[in-house]
Structure 1
């Protein structure tokens, strides 16, 4: 059996890996959503690296899927996958797994959109708090470029301890 004949089964294996990886990313995004609502900074910090790693893994799997589609003569996009599924005599589970991957991806995309809204709300809230704090300071900024307070409460005379 030639390597090309193995591509449909390799594509299905890749699809299963991609579905698993996307499901894991969707779970991470749901955890992120919960942490954003709870303002759980520690969890959010931990999720950043995990999400990056998962996105890198998904990118590799997508390229792998594209490789198999391309070498079987299909375009490397979603239409190519649909063409493969409709023109080949493939097991029904391959089509089902592709549909699951599309569904999980859409769900993850929506959760990511929601998380973006939550992040923007928090940024707006923080900016509002900073604006309130800066209103009490006639000079504007509370801290200078060196990180030191620009408010000088003393008269400029220091204390000498002797």
Structure 2
């Protein structure tokens, strides 16, 4: 049984059909690719300083992450029906037992490669965020006058440099 999105539902995957498993892997590869594409957009925004879109990227990443988690549950449910573990060893064993499932194997290889790319992009984006935060902190510190607060002008508009009398007070 298929849900409206064209993907198998969990009950179908759990029955152990290879076609539902392949569809889950194809959906997973598509979702990871979308995540990679979004991380690239985020990296571009961070690199150029165009941070206005970052909140919407975060929202989209959360939706994609939820979808990826759901697809992993489907994949793991299928592996469980085959008596295999819900891990790399389990999926490796499934492919070893089904050497003619080339499309599924190639799709899974794509999922793994895309996941590595996403992990690296996420790491780089984290570094860009740290650099931007350091830059902003330094700029803020410069605007505040560093560690030496200089009150150059008082509320009356007169100079108030440290420990020096005003010219009009010396007279």
* Common topology (TM > 0.5): yes
Determine the C-alpha separation between the residues in 2 that align with 1:42 and 1:59. 28
Listed one character per residue, the Cα deviations across residues 94-138 of structure 1 (whole Å, up to 9, x for unaligned) are 110010110111111111111001000001111112222333585
Q: Residue 142 of structure 2 corresponds to which residue in structure 1? A: 132
Q: List gaps (5 residues or longer) in structure 1.
A: 141-151, 156-162
Indicate if the aligned counterparts of 2:15 and 2:81 stay in contact, CA closer than 8 A: no
Q: Residue 13 of structure 1 corresponds to which residue in structure 2? A: 23
RMSD: 2.4
Q: Residue 123 of structure 2 corresponds to which residue in structure 1? A: 113
Listed one character per residue, the Cα deviations across residues 26-58 of structure 1 (whole Å, up to 9, x for unaligned) are 000001000100111222122111111111111
> Counterparts in 2 of 1:75-86, with a 5 A limit?
75-86=85-96
Structure 1 residues 139 and 14: CA distance shift in structure 2, 3 A: same
Larger radius of gyration: 2
| Alignment equivalent of 1:88, drawn from 85, 94, 98 | 98
Indicate if the aligned counterparts of 2:32 and 2:68 stay in contact, CA closer than 8 A: yes
- 2:44 is paired with a residue whose SS is helix
Give the length in aligned residue pairs: 144
Determine the C-alpha separation between the residues in 1 that align with 2:66 and 2:140. 36
Q: Residue 38 of structure 2 corresponds to which residue in structure 1? A: 28
Q: Residue 166 of structure 2 corresponds to which residue in structure 1? A: none
- 2:84 is paired with a residue whose SS is coil
TM-score for both structures, normalised by structure 1: 0.79
Q: List gaps (5 residues or longer) in structure 2.
A: 1-11, 157-171
Q: Greater relative contact order: 1 or 2 (C-alpha under 8 angstroms, separation 6 or more)? A: 1
> Counterparts in 2 of 1:39-54, with a 5 A limit?
39-54=49-64
Determine the C-alpha separation between the residues in 2 that align with 1:14 and 1:24. 15
Q: Residue 154 of structure 1 corresponds to which residue in structure 2? A: 155
Tell me, yes or no, if structure 1 residue 74 matches structure 2 residue 75. no
Structure 1 residues 77 and 136: CA distance shift in structure 2, 3 A: closer
Indicate if the aligned counterparts of 2:36 and 2:117 stay in contact, CA closer than 8 A: yes
